[in-house]
Amino acid sequence: MTTDQEISMSVTETGATVWLTGLPSAGKTTVAYELAGRLRADGHRVEVLDGDEIREFLSAGLGFSREDRHTNVQRIGFVAELLAANGVKVLVPVIAPYADSRDAVRKRHRQEGTAYLEVHVATPVEVCSERDVKGLYAKQAAGEISGLTGVDDPYEAPETPDLRIESHRQTVQESAAALRALLTERGLA
């Protein structure tokens, strides 16, 4: 049975999209899941739109050309805005290498009146290649793949993100706490 307080909470929940951009193995997904756990523990509705899962299910068939990457980012941005407009905190750990693609997502959110924060997980490529969570840097170095963002394909770092996280200089918990503080400061958590 639902109480009046629960109904009131679900109606007044403020949604937001938090886009975490950065190089492969920068720590985007790790920070997103850490923050998601904290937000859920406080009673927020949260979804993580992981880039790898989206590519498998929503963007299957897309490659890694600039056009395909733009299409992928726009699809994710559409889903994120839809969820956020309905009171969900949407955490989006997706590389989104091109500034114009990220700007288009921000513009869509602005047009819809939906909160949007851009977070740059600013981990140097040398650190990312050491972490190499998915083995991409090793495959690129061995000539098995090309078009690796930040190595032989461009990554346009945000000039003025809402928050810049240097995951190589702080713990996952510290990164999530900084992002949580930003959400609180903006009245979103």
Q: Which residues contact 176 (CB under 8 A, 6 or more apart)?
A: 31, 34, 35, 38
pLDDT of 23 higher than 80: yes
pLDDT of 118 higher than 90: yes
For residue 52, the model assigns a pLDDT of: 86
pLDDT of 127 higher than 80: yes
Percent of the chain with pLDDT over 70: 94
- Over range 124-147, report the average pLDDT: 93
Under 8 Å between Cβ of 73 and 94:
yes
Q: Which residues contact 163 (CB under 8 A, 6 or more apart)?
A: 117, 118, 119, 120, 178, 179, 182
Give the model's confidence band at 12: pLDDT under 50 very low, under 70 low, under 90 confident, else very high: low
For the chain, the average pLDDT equals 92
Under 8 Å between Cβ of 164 and 120:
yes
Helices (H), the chain: 4-12, 28-41, 51-57, 66-85, 99-112, 125-131, 136-141, 172-185
